[in-house]
A = this chain, B = another copy of it.
Amino acid sequence: MAQHSRDILGRAPSLADTLALRLRDEIVSGRLRPGERLATEQQISETYGVSRPTVREAIGRLKHDGLVVTRQGAGAFVADPGAVSVFRLDVADFTDKEEIRNIVELLMAIEASATEHAAARRSDKDLRNIQAQLDAMQAAIDRGEPGVEEDLAFHRSIIEATGNPFFRDLSDFLDRRVRTFIRTARANTARLEGLTQAVQAEHQAISDAIARQDASGARLAAETHLKNAAGRLALYLKP
């Protein structure tokens, strides 16, 4: 049961952490049904041999994740899955390549769709912002820099134009995740050079399609760009 498992930094998980995990398991496995009451803090404290504050901390996390709701004086109850208003995505491992593949797949789906929507309903201000980021990227290339920050800013400006905060937050998280993976993986492999201008051309095509409000064209341009990026990334995912 991985009793002595440790996290990434080598620290042992706290009591509250492990307890929260066990309680969570009780719920997601279905042993505790929605609406059902959990044992009282006192009881849990006794059965697991920890103090009540620790139990409170564990339950507090489940509450934070929307899995349980507590009512003072009444107890803690398993939340109705339909009423859960918190979505939580746990990315376990930094080096798991299968996981990165899945993340990239999700990221591509979101970015392609977002680009399509951006083209359909961008304001003039959105367009100006996108083109400004494109210029900034070109300037970085001219200075001989890789321009990873500018690249990210360009993509973000497109997502921003959709006006959908879910697109923004999710792609932000996934994008960051992928880029840090690349950064760490790059330490072990040769650097890829001379691609930036090709990338920029793809960006230009996306920007142009958005400028003329060509939704399907924008999606296509984004898809080819993402496919190429995934192809470059695949070099790190091979073995």
Which residue on B lies nearest to A17, using beta carbons?
B64
Mask, A47-90, CB within 8 Å of B = 1, is 00000010011001100110001010000000001111111111
Give bound CA distance, A177 to B85, whole Å. Answer: 8
Minimum C-beta distance from A172 to chain B (A)? 9
Give bound CA distance, A239 to B65, whole Å. Answer: 32
Q: Size class of A's contact patch?
A: 35 or more
A103 at the B interface (CB under 8 A): yes
A6 at the B interface (CB under 8 A): no
Minimum C-beta distance from A6 to chain B (A)? 14
The SS class assigned to the A binding surface is helix
B166 touches A102 (CB 8 A): yes
A88 touches B85 (CB 8 A): no
A109 at the B interface (CB under 8 A): yes
Which of B83, B89, B110, B165 touches A102 (beta carbons < 8 Å)?
B165
Copies in the complex: 2
Residues 16-57 of A contacting B (Cβ, < 8 Å): 16, 53, 56-57
A176 touches B105 (CB 8 A): no
A11 at the B interface (CB under 8 A): yes
A155 at the B interface (CB under 8 A): no
Kindly list chain B residues whose C-beta atoms are within 8 Å of the C-beta of A114: 109
Which of B61, B64, B85, B103 touches A166 (beta carbons < 8 Å)?
B103
Kindly list chain B residues whose C-beta atoms are within 8 Å of the C-beta of A132: none
- The chain A residues found within 8 Å of chain B, CB to CB, are 9, 11, 16, 53, 56-57, 60-61, 64-65, 69, 71, 81-92, 94, 102-103, 105-106, 108-110, 112-114, 117, 162, 164-167, 169-170, 173-174, 176-177, 179-180, 183
